[in-house]
Amino acid sequence: MKKHLLSFACAALLGTISMTSAVAQAKLTPGTVAVGGEAMYPNKTIVENAVNSKDHTTLVAAVKAAGLAETLQGKGPFTVFAPTNAAFNALPAGTVETLVKPENKTTLTKILTYHVVAGNLTADKIMAAIKSGTGTATLKTVSGGTLKAMMNGPKNIVLQDEKGNISTISTYDVTQSNGVIHVIDKVLMP
C-alpha cells in the first residue's frame, strides 16, 4: 500500500512539474523565446534579457568586467553571438579567470566585441548571405575582425573564427529591443 501511495505521489509530482512547465511555455508572449530556462522578452535590451539566462552567467560577468553593459543596452541594433557557460567552461583552465582581471580588460573587450556584429542579422538574413556568397558569408565584427558563416546541413548555421575554430548556433533569432541574439556553443577567438 505504501509503495502504491509513493508511486502515486511521484507520478502526481511529475505531472505537476510537467504542467507547470507547459503553462510557463504557454505564457510566453509571441516573439518571446526561452533561453537558459528564462523568457527573453523582445521589448527588453540584450543585457536586460541576458542577465536572466542561467546559461549565460559567465558571458554577463565578462561583459560587466569589460565595461560593455552600457554599450549593449544602447540603441543598436546589434547581433550578438552569445556563448553559453559550457562554451566558456570548455576553454583551457584559468582562461576566464585571467581574462576578467582588470589588467586584461583590453583583451577581454576584443574577444567580446568579436562576438558582436552591427545590425540586426536574423538567421534568414545570414542564410541568404551564405547563399549569395556561394556557401560562405563574411561577417565584420565590432572588434574589426571577421567571422565566416556557413551552413552545416540544410538549416544549421556554423561560424568559423579567425583561428579556424567552428561554433554552432544552437538557438536562433532571440529578438531584443536593440537587436538579436543567437546562442552559440563555443567561444569565438579573434
Question: Domain check: are 26 and 103 in the same one?
Answer: no
Question: Domain check: are 155 and 176 in the same one?
Answer: yes
Is 10's pLDDT higher than 60? Answer: no
Mean pLDDT of 122-141: 96
Structural domain range at position 45 = 32-184
Residue 26 in any domain: the answer is yes
Q: What is the pLDDT of residues 43-57, one digit of tens each?
A: 999 999 899 899 999
For 37, counting Cβ atoms within 10 Å of its Cβ (0-12 exposed, 13-18 middle, 19+ buried), the class is exposed
- Return phi, psi of residue 155, to 5°: -135, 20
Range with the lowest mean pLDDT among 27-41, 74-88, 124-138, 164-178? 27-41
Kindly report the average pLDDT of the chain as a whole number: 86
